[in-house]
Structure 1
C-alpha cells in the first residue's frame, strides 16, 4: 500500500532545536536570577550585620517571661530586710509567716531551694550557690562590689563574674545576683500569677467552686455591693493585668474599625455613581472622581493616621478618620466597577413602570450591587479591625496603644502576650461574625 507523503507535515528541525535551546536557557537563567536577587538583598538589607547584633538568648528570656512568672527572694543590706515577692512587687509581697515552702528564713540564715539540687544559702552578706555538675559559687558583698570564689576550671557562659556584680543563671528558671547592696534570687514558675485577682485581694487563691458559692451567698464581703459585682469588680480592677482597661481599649479598637468602615461605605457608594461611565456621561466629572479615589487610597492608612494625629491630637477619632479616608478610595473604586458591570435590562424594566431616576437606582441598580457591597464592606471591616490595632500603636488609642506601652519594658512581657492573645481573639470573632452576616444577607441562609 503506497503512503501519500504530500499531506505529511514538514518538520523544521532547526526551529525546533532553537525552541528547545531557548527553553533550556530559561530553565537555567530563571533560578540563577532568583539566586542573584536573593544574594543582592542579603547584603543590601544588611542581613549579616543583623545576625551579628541578634541576641537569641535575650529572645529566649523574653519568651520565658511571657509564659511564666518569677518569685524574688531579696536580702537588702541597706534596709536589713528580707522580702519574698512575686515579680518583685511591693503589692505582691509574702508575709514573713506565709513564705513559700521552698524558702526557709532562720534569723540571719536564709535557705532557698530551687529544686533539682540547686540550692542558695545566704548568711550575712555571703551567698553560697550550689549548682549540680559545676560546684558551689561563694560570693560576698563588700564595700566596693563583690568578692567571688568559683570552682576550679573554666567559667561557664551562664556565669558573669564581675567585681561589681555576680550574675549566675545556670537555667532559664533559676537566677542569683549579688551586688554590694543586696542578694537576689529568682525562681520561675509556669503560668500567669495573680491573673484573676490581685495578690492582696480577699478572692486571691479561691477556686471556681468557691467563687460560685460566694456569688450566691447572702453574706456580703462588701456591705455596699453584692458579692457577684464585688467579684467582677476585683477582676476588672486588677492593678497588674488591668482587665477593665484592656477591654475598654479593645472596644475602642472595634469602634474605630466600625466607624471608619461605615463612613467609607457611606461616602464611597454615592461617589461610585459619579465614577461609573454608565451613570455619569461627563468625562471630566468621572476623571475627577476617579483621581480622588486614587488620591485617597494612594496614601497609606498609617500616613493618614499621622496626619490626623498632628491635626486633631491623639484619640480613636483620628484612627477612624484614617480608615475612612483610605477605604473611601478603595470601596469607591470597587463599587464603581460593580456599577459598570450591572445588567441594564433590569434598569430598563424598572424604568418601563414609570419609576423616577431615584427609584430606578433603588430597585434596578442597588439589588444588583448589594452582594458586592455587603461582601466588600464586611471584608474591609474584618481587615480594619487588624489595621486599627496598628494605627492605635501610633497614638490613635485602642488596644494598639496599650500594647506599645506594655512592650516598653521587659518586665511586662506577659501582659504583652495577654494583649496579643486578646487581639487575635477579637480578630477571629470579627471574621466569624462577618462570615455569618454574609451568609445571612447574601445567601439568605
Structure 2
C-alpha cells in the first residue's frame, strides 16, 4: 500500500487556485464578510442599548444594600420593640402578633427603674456587636470603640452631640438618626420614639405562636403533652389542640395559606379542563380538512386569536371586575385564554393528520361520526392530552400571578404579605410552597406525557 503524503500549499499556489476559480473564493469571502458584519452589528446594537437605556448609571445607582437586606429577610426574622418617650417614662411595646408584650421582654432588652408594666426609666439593649442605652431625652449607642450620644429635646428635635460615626446616618429631613449594626439590625431615633429592629436567623414561631399553650416548650415536652399529658382543654384532645394551634398560627396563618394554595391548584385544574372540553369540538369545526365551510373555519380561528391576543393577566382583571374577587375570576381567565390556545393547537394538529386512515374508514361506508372517531381521533388524542397536561402544569404557575390582581388563591395572599414590606419571611414561605407544588405537578405532567408518547409509539 502506498504511503499517504501531505502537501502544504504555498501562498502562491493558493493565489493560483483562486485565479482559476474566482467564483468559489468570492463566495467564501462574501460569507466571511457577512459574518463579520453581523457580529459588528450585534456589538454596535449592544453598545447603543447600553447607552440609550443608561444601564451603567442604573447599575451604579442601584441600592444594593437594600437588596441584600431583603434577601436576608427571607431567611431571618426581626424582633421590633418600639420605645415611646412618655411623661411617665419609656413605654416599650411590640407589634400586635409579636411573641413579646409588656409583661414578657426578650433577654437582650433590659428594663431598669420599672414604674409600671412595660414602662421604665431606663432601657438597655444589646444589638449585634453594639449596645444602646435609652433615657428620657437621651440615647447613647456604642459599637466597637465608637460612641455616639443623641439628645431628643421636648420639641421633638434630634441632635447628635459631636460628630457621627459612619454607622450613624442622619435622615435627609433632619428629624431622625439611623444607627446601623450590620446584619444584626438597626435603631431609628425619632423625636417621640425609638424604633429597634433586631435580626436573628431562622423563622420565629413557625409552628406555635405565643397564644398557644405549646409555645416556647422544647420538642420532647410538646410530644409528651400531646400523647400522654392531661387535656389542656377538656373539650378536645391535646393532639387536636396542637393541630388547631398550628393551623391558626397568628403569625404564619398556615391554615389560610394552605387553603389559598388549594384554591390556586383548583383554579388551574378546572380552568384547564373546561378549556380543553370546549376547544375540542370547536377545533373540529375550525380545521379546514374536517369542516369544509371556509366561513366557519375563519370565524372560529379569528375567535381563537381574539382570546389569545389578550394576556391572561388582563382577562383576570376583567373577570375580577365582572364577578368580584375570588377563584371564579381566576378560573374564568384561565378558561377563556386557554380555550383560544387549545383551539388553535388542536385545529392545527387536525389539519396535519394522515388522511389515508380516515379514507380507509370512510371506504367501508362508516357514518361521518365514526370516521372521525376511528380515523381521526386515534391520531390526535394523545397529542391533545399531552398539550392539555403541559398547560395544566403551566397554569399552576399562572394562577399564582393572576391571584395577585384579585383572582384569589395564594397569589393574593402573597401580594398582601409583600405589601407590608416587613413580612418577607412569610413571602419566602409561600414562594417555597409554590415551588414545591409546581415541582410536583411538573413531574406528574412529564410522567403522564411520557406514557402517552410511549403508548402512541407502541401503536
* TM bucket normalised to smaller: 0.7 to 0.9
Q: Equivalent residues in 2 for 1:93-172 (5 A)?
A: 93-94=100-101, 96=103, 98-107=104-113, 108-116=121-129, 118-133=130-145, 135-144=146-155, 145-150=157-162, 155-156=165-166, 158-160=168-170, 164-172=175-183
Corresponding residue for residue 382 of structure 2:
371
Classify the secondary structure of the residue corresponding to 1:271: helix
Distance 1:340 1:380 in 2: 21
Corresponding residue for residue 182 of structure 1:
193
The reply on whether 1:199 has 2:205 as its aligned counterpart is: no
Q: RMSD value over aligned CA atoms?
A: 2.8
Change (3 A) 1:112 1:382: same
Distance 2:372 2:168 in 1: 74
Select 1:31's aligned residue among 32, 39, 55.
Answer: 39
Q: Equivalent residues in 2 for 1:8-407 (5 A)?
A: 12-45=20-53, 47=55, 50-51=58-59, 54-78=62-86, 80-83=89-92, 85=94, 88-89=95-96, 91-94=98-101, 96=103, 98-107=104-113, 108-116=121-129, 118-133=130-145, 135-144=146-155, 145-150=157-162, 155-156=165-166, 158-160=168-170, 164-217=175-228, 219-351=230-362, 355-407=366-418
* Bigger Cα displacement from structure 2, 390-399 vs 45-54: 45-54
Measure how far apart 1:193 and its partner are: 0.7
The answer as to whether partners of 1:91 and 1:200 remain within 8 angstroms in 2 is: no
Paired residues in the alignment total: 430
Change (3 A) 1:262 1:127: same
Q: TM-score if structure 2 supplies the norm length? A: 0.84
Distance 2:93 2:322 in 1: 49
The answer as to whether partners of 1:76 and 1:181 remain within 8 angstroms in 2 is: yes
Change (3 A) 1:437 1:182: same
Measure how far apart 1:414 and its partner are: 1.8
Change (3 A) 1:210 1:378: farther
Change (3 A) 1:31 1:150: farther
The reply on whether 1:425 has 2:436 as its aligned counterpart is: yes
Task: Extract unaligned runs of 5+ from structure 1.
Answer: 1-8
Classify the secondary structure of the residue corresponding to 1:112: strand
Task: Extract unaligned runs of 5+ from structure 2.
Answer: 1-16, 114-120
Measure how far apart 1:376 and its partner are: 0.3
Distance 2:360 2:29 in 1: 60
Q: TM-score if structure 1 supplies the norm length? A: 0.87
The answer as to whether partners of 1:252 and 1:397 remain within 8 angstroms in 2 is: yes
Classify the secondary structure of the residue corresponding to 1:394: helix
* Bigger Cα displacement from structure 2, 193-202 vs 76-85: 76-85
Change (3 A) 1:15 1:314: same
